[in-house]
Structure 1
Amino acid sequence: MGRYFSLHKINIHYFDTFEELSVICHRHDIDMILLAGATADSFIKEVELVKLAKQNTFLAVIPIVLFHPDPDENILFAAYQAGADEFIHGDWKNKLIEVRINKIIERHNRDMSINPSTHLPGPSLIESELTRQLNLEQEFAVGYADLDNFKAYNDYYGYHYGDNIIRMTAKIIKDIVFDVSRGGFVGHIAGDDFIFIIPRAEIDFICENIIKSFDALIRLKYADEDLDRGYIVTKSRRGDVEEFPILTISIAVLQNEKGSFKHVGEMSKMLADLKKATKLKSGSNYMVERRSKY
């Protein structure tokens, strides 16, 4: 079977019952579940396994593929009705089956890297894009945006309103970056951290407009009494009661000239340090690292 996953280094785990499948999926990172059988009885069992898997929150995100050498319309209907993500039939050695299976795994891995709240590329896709840009040896800039005192806002107003802030921030960054640079990139690292890749010539314009838009729209996300007061009162990370000002955004920007950086790790370290320095300033700010390395 391994030869049909030629684009991927794989480990194959076999199971016979749903309980065995559950144990495997909890112990290992599973990219795909494949169920195969040629008889009517075995296919009924497969369909029941699909139903159980799709009813399980943990297993439901894993793509399930059913294989049958010669299905009729009723078999196909039952498979998709149960929740199968793909149905493969015919000669198992067919090269088209190999391509389809590999594409299912690729699509699953890509989808798992998309942030479910903002629908932006996550860490693995961000790293892939940065690596691609570095390999091109072209000049570009990377912005690392982070909200100031977001945890306090989230604790004070609750997760629902905190998530609205995250989605609003994502839309601001995405709209401005893509309005200015069609070839730009925007990713969501996690929480309130975002990455964007832009032409060096557009650094000031893009950062200034992100800050301007954020500072205007964030005021709509506070109760009137908190706006009038200019801060919220809640516990800090240490458990002390503190005052936290209206949310602001800090952006660290790193410039890449041809050959400045050899790998993503170098950029990541500099961006993290620069972000810390940017957040020390009050209000919304952006800071550009003019040195190629330090």
Structure 2
Amino acid sequence: MSVDQADDRPDLILVVDDDADIARFVEFNLKLHGFEVVHASDGQEALEVIEGRRPDLAVVDLMMPRVDGLELTRRLRANPMTSALPVIMLTAKGMTVDKVHGLAAGADDYLVKPFDTAELVARVSATLRRNKEAREVSPLTGLPGNSRIRREIRDRIRTGADYVVGYVDIDRFKSVNDRYGFVRGDEFISTLARSLHRAVVSVGRPPAFLGHVGGDDFVIICSPEQIRPLTQRAVVDFENAADQLYDPTDRERGFVELKDRRGNTRRAALVTLSIGVSLSDSTKRITDPLAAIAVASEMKSVAKGQPGSYVAVDRRRSL
């Protein structure tokens, strides 16, 4: 699966506003121009909506009860699963400081109330276009893709910080697709994304990064001290969650049975993870993002040769 693959469905816009009249006005006009719209009355409800659906853009009012627009935007940016979600902030007329605060929190653009239909649609369309071009997001997991992954590595190289790149994929993933079909396969991929996200959040600061290359391939970028606890948690979390996605009979016996083209039956064990890790520190500096990813991918192949879930770390050093 390619992260560049086009999605034919209409863009889904999340409108977050406690003013029902404004929310209806925005929803009506966006639907009129071909967008799909879902509404939340405040930031807390918006977070709950996002858990169940994956909007392409959020139009967020600044002033709301419980979780306001600034706090909602900060939480979206802090969460690897929603960090690339475009946000347009609705601000009061003439309140320049609100615009500044909104942009500082991570909003992509702002609209000053009252606004007309043409400006609303233009801002939404332009922000979607910019973000699709610049942020390349996986339609399945909502995680940033190849361009954003390379940019994250470049940022760490530029600061001179030690970093590691972990390349993650699912062992025997083809057996899942062959046994249950691609819809169930996508559930395994989404489950891995959630497990990795929980692991990334658990290691605290400095914030680790999670990207989705495509298919069942993911990339983690973090500090050297974080990689062991991160991968340990991810493996345990994913294996427990993935086991529940198998049919009860397959789960209980610990394997699936598949027939080859000749009608012969073979067995495939339940899925595990292979993780390859490249390390850039004082003993070996990797100053090219593609090289860092290539080394991690090479070590992932090493991990594939080991039984069960396995993390293979590149221990080679510069001469």
The one of 164, 179, 186 equivalent to 1:156 is 179
In 2, Cα distance between equivalents of 1:292 and 1:102: 47
Matches within 5 A, 1:1-80: 58=8, 80=30
C-alpha spacing 1:214/1:278, structure 2 compared with 1 (3 Å) = same
In 1, Cα distance between equivalents of 2:279 and 2:317: 7
- 1:251 aligned to 2:275? yes
In 1, Cα distance between equivalents of 2:292 and 2:240: 31
| Per-residue Cα deviation, 1:17-69 (whole angstroms, up to 9, x for no partner) | xxxxxxxxxxxx9xxxxxxxxxxxxxxxxxxxxxxxxxxx75956xxxxxxxx
Corresponding residue number in structure 1 for 2:137: 114
Deviation at 1:106, TM superposition (A): 2.4
C-alpha spacing 1:225/1:166, structure 2 compared with 1 (3 Å) = same
Deviation at 1:161, TM superposition (A): 1.5
C-alpha spacing 1:77/1:137, structure 2 compared with 1 (3 Å) = closer
In 1, Cα distance between equivalents of 2:222 and 2:133: 25
> Is the Cα–Cα contact under 8 Å of residues 150 and 290 in structure 2 kept in the other structure?
no
| Per-residue Cα deviation, 1:75-98 (whole angstroms, up to 9, x for no partner) | x99974531788349xxxxxxx9x
Runs of 4+ aligned residues of structure 1 deviating over 6 Å after TM superposition are: 76-79, 99-102, 236-240
How many residues in Structure 1 have an aligned counterpart in Structure 2? 218
Corresponding residue number in structure 2 for 1:221: 245
- 1:234 aligned to 2:184? no
The one of 32, 36, 53 equivalent to 1:82 is 32
User: Match for 1:83: what amino acid?
Assistant: H
Of 190-199 and 217-226, deviating more is 217-226
Deviation at 1:293, TM superposition (A): 5.4
Corresponding residue number in structure 1 for 2:108: none
C-alpha spacing 1:272/1:78, structure 2 compared with 1 (3 Å) = closer
- 1:276 aligned to 2:307? no
| Per-residue Cα deviation, 1:201-247 (whole angstroms, up to 9, x for no partner) | 12211111111122222221112221233211225699975321000
RMSD over aligned Cα, in angstroms? 3.4
C-alpha spacing 1:100/1:177, structure 2 compared with 1 (3 Å) = closer
Of 144-153 and 206-215, deviating more is 206-215
Corresponding residue number in structure 1 for 2:313: 288
Of 213-222 and 248-257, deviating more is 213-222
> Is the Cα–Cα contact under 8 Å of residues 152 and 235 in structure 1 kept in the other structure?
no
In 2, Cα distance between equivalents of 1:239 and 1:110: 47
C-alpha spacing 1:191/1:104, structure 2 compared with 1 (3 Å) = closer
In 1, Cα distance between equivalents of 2:252 and 2:161: 48
- 1:142 aligned to 2:171? no
TM-score if structure 1 supplies the norm length? 0.64
In 2, Cα distance between equivalents of 1:77 and 1:208: 44
> Is the Cα–Cα contact under 8 Å of residues 232 and 244 in structure 1 kept in the other structure?
yes
Matches within 5 A, 1:90-105: 105=129
Deviation at 1:173, TM superposition (A): 0.6
SS of the equivalent of 2:286 reads coil
The one of 226, 230, 241 equivalent to 1:202 is 226
C-alpha spacing 1:238/1:133, structure 2 compared with 1 (3 Å) = farther
SS of the equivalent of 1:221 reads coil
Deviation at 1:102, TM superposition (A): 7.1
In 2, Cα distance between equivalents of 1:163 and 1:141: 27
Deviation at 1:186, TM superposition (A): 0.4
> Is the Cα–Cα contact under 8 Å of residues 181 and 199 in structure 1 kept in the other structure?
no
In 2, Cα distance between equivalents of 1:150 and 1:127: 25
Any gaps of 5 or more consecutive residues in structure 1? 1-28, 30-56, 62-75, 90-96
In 1, Cα distance between equivalents of 2:180 and 2:228: 32
> Is the Cα–Cα contact under 8 Å of residues 121 and 188 in structure 1 kept in the other structure?
yes
Percent of aligned positions that are identical: 26
> Is the Cα–Cα contact under 8 Å of residues 250 and 279 in structure 1 kept in the other structure?
yes
The one of 179, 199, 209 equivalent to 2:202 is 179
TM-score if structure 2 supplies the norm length? 0.59
